Amino acid sequence: MFKDKNMKRINFKNIQWLLLAVMTFGLVSFADRVLDEHTIRTVRIKHVTHGNQLIPLPESVSNSPDKTAQIPFVDKDFVGFKEALAFKESQGKYNRVNTLGYLGKYQFGRSTLKELNIHVKPKGFLNNPLLQEKAFLANLEKNKWILRKEIKKFNGKWINGIKITESGILAAAHLGGAGAVQQFLWSYGKNTMKDAYGTRIEHYLKKFSGYDLSDIQPKRNPKIDLE
């Protein structure tokens, strides 16, 4: 009888240790999974078109048998905003030129570059990633100054089922210009526009909403160091 009780105690201790090991392994596995979800995401890539133009898949994805790619997780901040916008514009490629001649990672038109006092040949602009990044920031600062009244008045309001946010306004200005965004907002969605590929500013207002761009300072004439 004593022997049976002792065996039960041993078995109970073994079960306790086993449960503790399982719980520990589960917690570690969960922690690793959470970390992975917040640093790297695996996504399935599909062929997409912009208007009538087929956007080619990146070489790394084309060579993947299941057409998947791992992308970094980005927060809803300035870096996340600019990288999401760049992927929409050019798949993030500094050397991209579209069928209308728009240039680089952020697809700048030559008139916008002139407004930013950037007078370089297209090839020079395409081969200068740092200049492209500076141009994007300067253009964002300028649009934030032009649209400062609209941002103050319409931020948080709803127009045509879209929640208007500062980042959505600035993304739409990148697409169609600050003037087009002003017309849309002050007409409460009655006056709208679309680009040559058929993309409406409403799409950018919605797609790029909710990013925190509070660190971007509005500047009437932003200066760009070309060196």
d(CA 107, CA 17): 60
How far is Cα 89 from Cα 73, in angstroms, rounded to an integer? Answer: 19
For the purposes of burial, counting CB atoms within 10 Å of the CB of 125, is it exposed (0-12), middle (13-18) or buried (19 or more)?
buried
Read off the tokens for 53: 């133009």
- Read off the pLDDT of residues 52-110 as tens digits, 9 standing for 90 and up: 445 555 554 555 555 555 555 458 999 999 999 999 999 999 999 999 999 999 999 99
Model pLDDT, residue 63: 56
What are the CA-CA distances from residue 90 to residues 41, 108, 124, 160 (Å)?
20, 11, 18, 28
Query: What confidence score (pLDDT) does residue 39 get?
Result: 38
Ranges of residues in the chain with a pLDDT under 70 are: 1-74, 227
Alpha-carbon distance of 200 to 207, in angstroms, equals 11
Euclidean distance between CA atoms 164 and 147, whole angstroms? 13
CA within 13 Å, CB half, 198:
5
Q: How far apart are CA 134 and CA 225, in angstroms?
A: 8
pTM value? 0.68
Which token pair is 26?
Answer: 């589960």
How many other CB atoms are found less than 10 A from the CB of residue 220? 9
